[in-house]
Amino acid sequence: MNKDDEYQYVLAFSEGRYEDAKKYLYKAIISEAKNKEALPLLAGLVQKLGTITFRQGDEVGAIAMYEISELLDKDSLLAKLDYAKFLLKEMGDKSAALKKSQEIIEYAISFPFVGNDDDFSSEEYIEAAKRIIDEV
């Protein structure tokens, strides 16, 4: 997403102009859709669509968007972590947020990894998931 489109998206979203915000997200998705290196970016864009979908009253559609985001970014726990936060803070679904946080912890313990410039370490994901659990 270029800087101007990102600014326009943030402005539209913050003002509750969700249809306008979705247009900027769709534009970014179209521009990155064929770039396999952009899967984490696409996952984040789809999550943003999920949040808008939820705020427009479509809970099932929102969950579908977050599920798709996990598939797009299956090599990272970031999509799962953002999904857990969404479940807790947007949907108020403590049980689902707890389950998703436990998935993160189980994976990070089973397959430890070092962080880098593009992603957190397994330990950082464990700590973030524990913070969500503490909020539940």
25 and 37, same structural domain? yes
pLDDT tens digits in sequence order for the chain, 136 residues long = 889 999 999 999 999 999 999 999 999 999 998 888 899 999 999 999 999 999 999 999 999 999 999 999 987 899 999 999 999 999 999 999 999 999 999 999 999 999 998 889 999 999 999 999 999 9
Kindly report the pTM of this predicted structure. 0.91
DSSP secondary-structure letter at 36?
G
What pLDDT is recorded for position 118? 82
Statement to judge: residues 32 and 10 lie in one domain:
yes
- Using DSSP's 3-state secondary structure scheme, residue 93 falls into coil
Q: Which domain holds residue 16?
A: 1-74
Q: Which one, of 128, 77, 72, lies nearest residue 48 by Cα?
A: 72
What's the CATH code of the domain at 68?
A: 1.25.40
pLDDT of amino acid 117: 87
Residues 59 and 122 in one domain: no
CB 86 within 8 A of CB 46: no
- Residue written as token pair 């900027």: 24
Residue corresponding to tokens 């807790």: 88
Whether 65 and 26 map to the same domain: the answer is yes
Give dist(CA 55, CA 89) in Å, integer: 12
Do 68 and 88 share a domain, yes or no? no
Shared domain for 127 and 109, answered yes or no, is yes
